[in-house]
Amino acid sequence: MNHINGIVFDLYGTLYDVHSVARLCDSYHPGRGREISAVWRQKQLEYTWLRSLMGHYADFEQATYDALVFTSGQLKLPLDAAAQLALCNAYLELAPYPEVPAALGRLQAMGLQLAILSNGSPHSIHSVVTQSGLAARFSHLISADEVRIFKPHGSVYQLAEDHMKRDRSELLFVSSNAWDASGARHFGFPVCWINRAGNTFDELGQSPDHVVGGLDQLADWIAAPRNN
């Protein structure tokens, strides 16, 4: 990994736990919080992909809201306007995975340029990293909003090269979302897939260059050859 000069992270589900909203979901419908969160997240992703295919862009915050309305109707678990607002706001305050703060510190100390490339809007990305106290770890917070289409479209991955002024071969892309890791690998990034849950990688004609169980293992992997 000595040729890697920067790391580009996905945000949702990679650095931050999208299901940290489940507790608040549960407060509105006790015992159903995790189910609400799971359906909400899946539909949120589907709406980004469908809007990209339709050529009908709306930002990630709108996709998140629309997915919540769908989830409420699909599960027949009503949420009034105040509940919808509170839950959507919770997506602006997601919790990082436990190992993330220390691992980012280690990676930054190695002299690596760290960036986020996310389908989130600029407001969403900034809010999430700022409220968690991790904004100083990143040199760039890059949003798909710039090109008005979502990952895994190649124009979104191109933004990382443009902002960081590095060739894709020098930028390690890190995601826990297999579809995102596949898109990045297809674009030409070396890719590390974070597989916390022991999932199966998507069959999209691509394979990650490395697989880890958490961000701490990524830091170990990168540090090892640099110390030889």
What pLDDT digit, counting tens, does each position of 27-57 carry?
Answer: 999 999 999 999 999 999 999 999 999 999 9
The one catalytic residue among 10, 59, 145, 180: 10
pTM of the model: 0.95
Q: Would residue 10 show up in a list of annotated catalytic residues for this protein?
A: yes
In this structure, how many other beta carbons lie within 10 angstroms of the beta carbon of residue 31?
7
Predicted confidence band of residue 227 (pLDDT cuts 50, 70, 90): very low
- What domains appear along the chain, each with residue ranges and CATH number? 6-16+95-226 (3.40.50.1000), 18-90 (1.10.150.240)
Give the number of other Cβ atoms within 10 Å of residue 76's Cβ: 6
Burial label, 163 (beta-carbon count in 10 A; 0-12, 13-18, 19+): middle
